[in-house]
């Protein structure tokens, strides 16, 4: 493989990592607050469509991006309503959200299949873009990738350096303790779920606005599920989420290139690669979770457990 | 423990109560949990709140903490009526709670736990947070590492974190719900002196405990809660002995000294020789039919591991364990549901029962082999047996269709013990059988155990020395996985040394 090809492959990996990263960070926020959201796949699909149609109608990629995020937040608000108000099972509600989201986006999007949109185009960052190799890989991307460089830092900062994040974590670990401290765990959970939904929505918006630049069915392509698995792989840490997203982005980009290069390997096998990696990552996390670092790598203690009303 | 000098002072009438409950009533459906309760909490005084299980202490505390609203009556803070609509308002009014089950986030640091909800700004500065907590801990003599993860701390240290939370919020009323239940004796001593320090600084303190000696040692005033009502309020100095306090509490004399007729010893039912591993070190014990062997010690010194091995939950790593004359492997692989081993676990609401199953189903959890023909359950017979247990052990409320969680701890325990005795075991393992039970339920459980030992050997694991001495024929003291001493309760010299043995002082040093 020539050096140019490797650089192109790495740049493609970074691009492929972006939507997964947003979705993983979103799921981390939700799970840190104690709510398991298996609806990421559906949320990304809806958000991708909301972003596409907004951009298509208004011509503004920024508005499209916002629409994607808001659609994600609203859809996750529905999850929050089912789990927190009606005490529905988080797994069932999340699965329903995925089925609903994927189905609805395909239904609404049918007339638009194949229609393109401007979205975000790649541009080189002044100076940084001129750095050999690194510049080409990291700094000749689109605006959303650059946003993706800040997102993990922002999520980390929110979780570990703000009182809101502290309350959010306490709610995910032990809602009763948060309540005893005078916080409102229900409100914190709703915030975590919806803010997480906004991030998942950004991930979905990326797909239609920056990845394909056109609408097609099945755009989310399992990335939501990868994100859910990556949260465990990342031990609920934004920093490790970056690592995981790059790893998956790399595998996705690699298998696409390999297909494009016309290899003898059946394409269905190549398409399996990211999911095989998902399984491997989960196995790795499970062994790690049994080791000495278990405490630091454990899931939030109250993850998946709804807050029962008192009295 | 040195008696407190100021205890005889009667709170002067012109001092305003920090918190006053005025005719507070709270109902849950048809149950009146609190009935027209009036109570004053004075600054600088320690008030003990005594009451049997289900007397309404938790409900009362939940209203003070702003978690429940009174149906009638109201709460006054510093003379002004306060209607709390949320825990936050109670905290802001200066009322702080140390719950029986700590309200701590194990996966966060001490500093994060102390400052949760009180960060004083949107941005956090971890170094400053640690410094704040360190300073606070130093000022009140509650040493703690602010950067430590709470999940790694001992129970005594966790309680310190809870107290620091309240001190940081400048709570003026501190409510302790059974604070010594999880503490070692020295930790409890340290807590008492901290309580006196805080009380001397003008805090109003409420101390909820079942342990009568502790109440007498630490309280200035004692209020007794019975069936949702305040049945008596008096100065601690008016009470001469724990026995008298117990009498006031239950409204009748309780035989805490229980008559124990000797029972002839039968065959060996348990023989443990040199058991090590899993936290145990060279444990040897034996138990015969007709006796009760009490394993005493502060919780977490290997009792749990011992019980797990005896009950077949974990395999002995090294050493011999013989149950009813069989080796551990053979016995644990298969033993009959009756006439063998029965276990009354400490966690009666979690391990012994399923909270949402009714009493009949809970009966069947361990006795189903006795109520089946082939693959079919004989539910009618099981219901009859459940009714009999309920009747004979005075389990309240006595409806077998109720889910387990609707029973109070004492009633559930009586049911569990009745169920296990139905299996006519020859080896009964009873773990903390009266923990959290009121005196009348304790007495009932003790009578059950004493009567049962004629037909079986009882391995009684307890942290309550009084219980061990009242029931057991022999006592084994555990410390850090070792049996520090094993002797008959009639050996007065050895019994004197139990405290030292529990604290790990060896034969020579004691």
Any idea what the CATH number is for the domain that residue A162 is in? 1.10.3470
Output the pLDDT for position B378. Answer: 92
- Tell me what the pLDDT averaged over chain B comes to: 85
Helices and strands counted in chain A (H then E):
13, 0
Whether A98 maps to a domain, the answer reads yes
Q: Do B101 and B224 share a domain, yes or no?
A: yes
Task: Please tell me the least confidently modeled range out of B37-41, B281-285, B408-412.
Answer: B408-412
Output the pLDDT for position B52. Answer: 62
Q: Do B307 and B417 share a domain, yes or no?
A: yes
Check if the beta carbon of residue A274 is closer than 8 Å to that of residue A45: no
- DSSP class of residue B394 equals T
Q: Do B168 and B116 share a domain, yes or no?
A: yes
What sign does the CA torsion over B183, B189, B194, B195 have? positive
Whether A307 maps to a domain, the answer reads no
Query: Quick check: B247 pLDDT over 70?
Result: no
Distance (Å, whole) CA B42 – CA B148: 35
Q: Which residues of A touch B (CB under 8 A)?
A: 160-167, 169-170, 173-174, 176-184, 295, 298, 300-301, 310-311
Output the pLDDT for position B253. Answer: 44
Task: With CA atoms as reference, report the closest residue to B412 among B471, B344, B466.
Answer: B344
* % of chain B exceeding 70 in pLDDT: 91
CB contact under 8 A, A295 and B65: no
Output the pLDDT for position B139. Answer: 79
Output the pLDDT for position B505. Answer: 66
Distances (CA, A) of B25 to A63, B17, B230, B438: 56, 20, 12, 22
CATH number at residue B13: 3.40.50.300
Q: Do B325 and B447 share a domain, yes or no?
A: yes
Tokens of B432: 């903390």
| For residues A87-109, average pLDDT | 95
Position B251 confidence tier, pLDDT thresholds 50, 70, 90: low
| For residues A168-183, average pLDDT | 91
Q: Do B185 and B321 share a domain, yes or no?
A: no
Final residue of a structural domain among B194, B218, B250: B250
Quote ipTM for the complex.
0.86
Distances (CA, A) of B116 to A167, B84, B128: 7, 20, 14
| For residues B125-148, average pLDDT | 89
Instruction: Say what the pTM is.
Output: 0.71
Whether A116 maps to a domain, the answer reads yes
Whether B41 maps to a domain, the answer reads yes
Output the pLDDT for position B250. Answer: 58
CA geometry: angle B474, B477, B480, nearest 5 deg: 155
Partner residue facing A174 (CB), from B105, B118, B165: B105
CB contact under 8 A, A173 and B108: yes
Nearest C-alpha in B relative to A298: B107
Neighbours of B286 (CB within 10 A): 16
Tally of domains within chain A? 1
Query: Quick check: A196 pLDDT over 60?
Result: yes
Query: Quick check: B264 pLDDT over 70?
Result: yes
> pLDDT tens-digit profile of B377-410?
999 999 999 999 999 888 877 788 888 888 877 7
Output the pLDDT for position B252. Answer: 47
Query: Quick check: A56 pLDDT over 90?
Result: yes
Whether B350 maps to a domain, the answer reads yes
Whether A84 maps to a domain, the answer reads yes
Whether B424 maps to a domain, the answer reads yes
Final residue of a structural domain among B189, B216, B250: B250
Beta carbon pairs, A and B, within 8 Å: 83
Residues of B in Cβ contact (< 8 Å) with A237: none
Strands (E), B142-291: 173-177, 204-208, 221-226, 229-235, 268-277, 280-288
Residues of A in Cβ contact (< 8 Å) with B108: 166, 169-170, 173
Which of A158, A159, A175, A180 to mutate: most B Cβ within 10 Å?
A180
Output the pLDDT for position A289. Answer: 60
Per-position DSSP letters for A48-65, written without gaps between them = HHHHHHHHHHH--HHHHH
Residues of B in Cβ contact (< 8 Å) with A303: none
Q: Do B196 and B50 share a domain, yes or no?
A: yes
Instruction: Tell me the H-state helices in B24-86.
Output: 57-64
* % of chain A exceeding 70 in pLDDT: 96
Per-position DSSP letters for B277-290, written without gaps between them = ETTEEEEEEEEETT
Distance (Å, whole) CA A176 – CA B117: 13
Q: Do B198 and B281 share a domain, yes or no?
A: no
Q: Do B305 and B362 share a domain, yes or no?
A: yes
Q: Do B155 and B289 share a domain, yes or no?
A: no
Nearest C-alpha in B relative to A311: B68
Whether B261 maps to a domain, the answer reads no
CA geometry: angle A256, A210, A59, nearest 5 deg: 145
Residues of B in Cβ contact (< 8 Å) with A160: 124
- DSSP class of residue B301 equals S
Q: Which residues of B touch A (CB under 8 A)?
A: 28, 65, 67-68, 86-88, 91-92, 97, 99, 103-108, 112-113, 115-119, 121-124, 126, 149, 151-152, 165
Nearest chain A Cα distance for residue B478, angstroms:
28
Task: Please tell me the least confidently modeled range out of B23-32, B353-362, B467-476.
Answer: B23-32
Q: Do B187 and B309 share a domain, yes or no?
A: no
Whether B257 maps to a domain, the answer reads no
Task: With CA atoms as reference, report the closest residue to A78 among A50, A39, A110.
Answer: A39
Output the pLDDT for position B213. Answer: 78
Whether B263 maps to a domain, the answer reads no
| For residues A193-203, average pLDDT | 97
Distance (Å, whole) CA B27 – CA B33: 6
CB contact under 8 A, B87 and A166: no
Distance (Å, whole) CA A31 – CA A34: 5
Distance (Å, whole) CA B283 – CA B371: 37
Distance (Å, whole) CA B252 – CA B53: 16
Whether A202 maps to a domain, the answer reads yes
Output the pLDDT for position B243. Answer: 67
Q: Do B202 and B296 share a domain, yes or no?
A: no
Output the pLDDT for position B61. Answer: 86
Task: With CA atoms as reference, report the closest residue to A43 among A199, A209, A187, A152.
Answer: A199
Residues of B in Cβ contact (< 8 Å) with A180: 65, 87, 97, 99, 103
Final residue of a structural domain among B223, B250, B277: B250
Q: Can you give the residue range of the structural domain that contains A23?
A: 3-297
**Pair type for strands B95-98 and B173-177:** parallel
- DSSP class of residue B358 equals B
φ/ψ (deg, to 5) at B460? -105, 115
Nearest chain B Cα distance for residue A196, angstroms:
20
CB contact under 8 A, B99 and A181: no
Whether B259 maps to a domain, the answer reads no
Whether A311 maps to a domain, the answer reads no
Query: Quick check: A208 pLDDT over 70?
Result: yes
> pLDDT tens-digit profile of B123-135?
999 999 999 999 9
Q: Can you give the residue range of the structural domain that contains B160?
A: 5-250
Task: With CA atoms as reference, report the closest residue to B364 among B348, B350, B384, B345.
Answer: B384
> pLDDT tens-digit profile of A15-46?
999 999 999 999 999 999 999 999 999 999 99
Radius of gyration of chain B (CA): 24
> pLDDT tens-digit profile of B298-313?
767 888 899 999 999 9
Instruction: List beta partners, residue B280.
Output: B277
Distance (Å, whole) CA A202 – CA B356: 42
Partner residue facing B121 (CB), from A163, A179, A311: A163
CB contact under 8 A, A301 and B123: no
Whether B52 maps to a domain, the answer reads yes
Nearest chain A Cα distance for residue B455, angstroms:
44
Check if the beta carbon of residue B212 is closer than 8 Å to that of residue B180: no
Check if the beta carbon of residue A123 is closer than 8 Å to that of residue A142: yes
Tally of domains within chain B? 2
């Amino acid at each position: 493989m020539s050096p140019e090809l490797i650089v192109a492959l790495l740049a493609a990996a970074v691009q492929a990592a972006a939507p997964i990263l947003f979705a993983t960070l979103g799921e981390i926020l939700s799970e840190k607050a104690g709510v398991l959201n298996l609806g990421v796949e559906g949320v990304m699909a809806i958000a991708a469509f909301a972003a596409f149609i907004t951009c298509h109608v208004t011509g503004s990629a920024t508005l499209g991006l916002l629409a994607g995020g808001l659609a994600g937040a609203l859809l996750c608000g529905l999850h929050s309503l089912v789990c927190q108000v009606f005490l529905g099972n988080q797994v069932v509600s999340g699965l329903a959200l995925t089925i609903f989201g994927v189905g609805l986006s395909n239904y609404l999007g049918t007339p638009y299949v194949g229609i393109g949109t401007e979205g975000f185009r790649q541009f080189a960052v002044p100076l940084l873009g001129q750095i050999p190799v690194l510049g080409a890989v990291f700094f000749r991307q689109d605006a959303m990738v650059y946003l993706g460089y800040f997102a993990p830092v922002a999520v980390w900062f929110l979780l570990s350096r703000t009182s809101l994040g502290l309350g959010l974590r306490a709610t995910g670990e032990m809602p009763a303790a948060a309540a005893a401290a005078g916080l409102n765990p229900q409100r914190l959970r709703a915030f975590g779920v919806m803010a997480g939904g906004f991030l998942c929505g950004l991930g979905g918006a990326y797909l239609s606005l920056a990845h394909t630049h056109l609408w097609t069915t099945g755009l989310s392509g399992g990335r939501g599920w990868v994100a859910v698995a990556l949260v465990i792989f990342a031990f609920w840490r934004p920093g490790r989420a970056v690592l995981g997203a790059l790893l998956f982005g790399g595998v996705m980009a690699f298998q696409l290139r390999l297909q494009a290069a016309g290899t003898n390997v059946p394409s269905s096998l190549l398409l399996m690669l990211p999911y095989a990696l998902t399984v491997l990552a989960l196995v790795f996390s499970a062994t790690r979770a049994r080791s000495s670092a278990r405490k630091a790598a454990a899931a939030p203690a109250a993850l998946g457990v709804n807050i029962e009303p008192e009295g | 423990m040195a008696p407190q000098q100021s205890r005889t002072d009667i709170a002067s009438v012109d001092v305003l109560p920090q918190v006053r409950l005025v005719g507070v009533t709270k109902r849950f459906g048809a149950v009146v949990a609190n009935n027209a309760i009036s109570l004053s909490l004075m600054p600088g005084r320690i008030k003990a709140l005594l009451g049997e299980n289900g007397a309404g202490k938790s409900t009362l505390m939940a209203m003070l903490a702003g978690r429940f609203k009174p149906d009638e009556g109201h709460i006054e803070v510093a003379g002004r009526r306060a209607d709390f609509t949320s825990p936050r308002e109670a905290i802001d009014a200066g009322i702080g709670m140390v719950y029986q089950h700590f309200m701590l986030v194990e996966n966060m640091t001490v500093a994060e736990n102390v400052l949760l909800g009180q960060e004083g700004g949107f941005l956090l500065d971890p170094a400053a947070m640690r410094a704040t907590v360190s300073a606070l801990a130093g000022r009140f003599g509650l040493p703690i590492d602010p950067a430590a993860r709470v999940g790694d701390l001992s129970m005594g240290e966790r309680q310190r974190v809870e107290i620091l939370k309240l001190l940081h919020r400048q709570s003026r009323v501190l409510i302790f719900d059974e604070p010594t239940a999880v503490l070692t004796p020295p930790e409890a001593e340290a807590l008492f002196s901290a309580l006196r320090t805080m009380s001397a600084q003008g805090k109003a303190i409420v101390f909820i405990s079942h342990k009568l000696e502790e109440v007498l040692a630490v309280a200035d005033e004692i209020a007794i809660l019975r069936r949702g009502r305040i049945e008596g309020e008096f100065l601690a100095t008016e009470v001469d002995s724990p026995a008298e306090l117990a009498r006031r509490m239950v409204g009748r004399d309780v035989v805490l000294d229980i008559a124990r007729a000797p029972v002839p010893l039968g065959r060996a039912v348990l023989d443990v020789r040199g058991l090590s591993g899993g936290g145990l070190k060279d444990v040897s014990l034996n138990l015969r039919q007709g006796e009760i062997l009490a394993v005493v010690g502060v919780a977490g010194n290997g009792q749990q591991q011992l019980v797990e091995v005896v009950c077949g939950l974990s395999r002995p790593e090294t050493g011999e364990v013989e149950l009813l004359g069989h080796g551990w492997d053979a016995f644990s692989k298969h033993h009959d549901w009756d006439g063998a081993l029965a276990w009354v676990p400490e966690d009666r609401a979690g391990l012994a029962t399923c909270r949402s199953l009714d009493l009949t189903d809970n009966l069947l959890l361990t006795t189903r082999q006795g109520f089946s023909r082939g693959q079919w359950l004989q539910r009618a017979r099981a219901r009859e047996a459940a009714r009999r247990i309920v009747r004979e052990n005075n389990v309240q409320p006595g409806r077998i269709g109720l889910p387990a969680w609707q029973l109070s701890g004492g009633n559930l325990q009586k049911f569990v013990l009745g169920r296990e005795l139905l299996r006519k075991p020859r080896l009964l393992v009873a773990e903390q059988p009266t923990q959290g039970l009121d005196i009348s339920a304790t007495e009932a459980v003790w009578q059950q155990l004493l009567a049962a030992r004629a037909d079986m050997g009882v391995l009684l694991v307890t942290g309550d020395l009084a219980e061990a001495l009242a029931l057991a024929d022999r006592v084994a003291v555990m410390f850090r996985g070792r049996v520090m001493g094993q002797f008959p309760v009639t050996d007065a010299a050895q019994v004197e040394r139990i405290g030292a043995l529990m604290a790990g002082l060896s034969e020579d040093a004691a």
